[in-house]
Each structure stands twice: as structure tokens, then as C-alpha cells.
Amino acid sequence: MTLSEISTADLTEELSRRMRDNLVSDIIHASADAFGTTEAQILSYDRTKAPVAARTLAMALAQEKYTLGHVASLFNRQDHTTIIAAKRRADVLTRRCPDFRAKATAVLQRLKKQ
């Protein structure tokens, strides 16, 4: 397929997909920085404290913009139930844990600036 064969709709759809992926990438990067972990650890199945907290926040934030199934696929998870659990866990941690709340606030502020 040559460039002249790509329709405007196809080009718009591809650009939109890339922008969505960039937003999730920004969320993951900001969460990793705030919790002192790496993006690779967030996307892995690492069960140590920092990656779990960063992953929880990143999944909860991504879920606000995308469908549960899409977020699950972006985080390499089998289905949407993991994302639902992460959202609930983030809500509880935000209410009960001042450290988590402070880091979540920092991530949100950073994302607003971008």
C-alpha cells in the first residue's frame, strides 16, 4: 500500500490510536517515576510493593479514558477484571494511605502539565 492509497479515515484512525497509546505511556512513565520503579516492572507481573502500587494507579488512571478490555490488553493482562480490581484498590488506597494519595496527586499534576 502506498501513501496515496491510504484514506483520510485510515490515517485519522491510526493517528488517534497512536495518541491514545502515548497517553497510556505517559501515565505509566509518570507512575513509575512517582513510585521509584520502572515502566517494565509496571507492565510485568512483579509483586513487590513499588511496582504493584504504581501499576494500580496507572491502571486506574488509564481506565478513566479507555475501556476495561483495552486497558487490560495495554497492561498485558488476560481480562478486564484485573482493571476493575485495580480501580477499587486505588480508591481505597487514595482514601486510607497518605503516601499513595500524595504520589497519585503528583502523577495527576504531572499529566495535566503535558
Cα within 13 Å of Cα(54), Cβ side: 26
**Is the pLDDT confidence value at 4 over 90?**
no
Place of cell 504520589: 103
Where does the pLDDT of residue 1 fall: very low under 50, low under 70, confident under 90, or very high at 90 and above? low
Confidence bin at 114 (pLDDT 50/70/90):
confident
Tens-place pLDDT, residues 14-31: 655 665 567 888 999 999
**What domains sit in the chain, N to C, each tagged with a CATH number?**
9-113 (1.10.1750.10)
**Cβ within 8 Å of residue 7, ≥6 positions away:** none
Interval 44-101: pLDDT, tens: 999 999 999 999 999 999 999 899 999 999 898 999 999 999 999 999 999 999 999 9
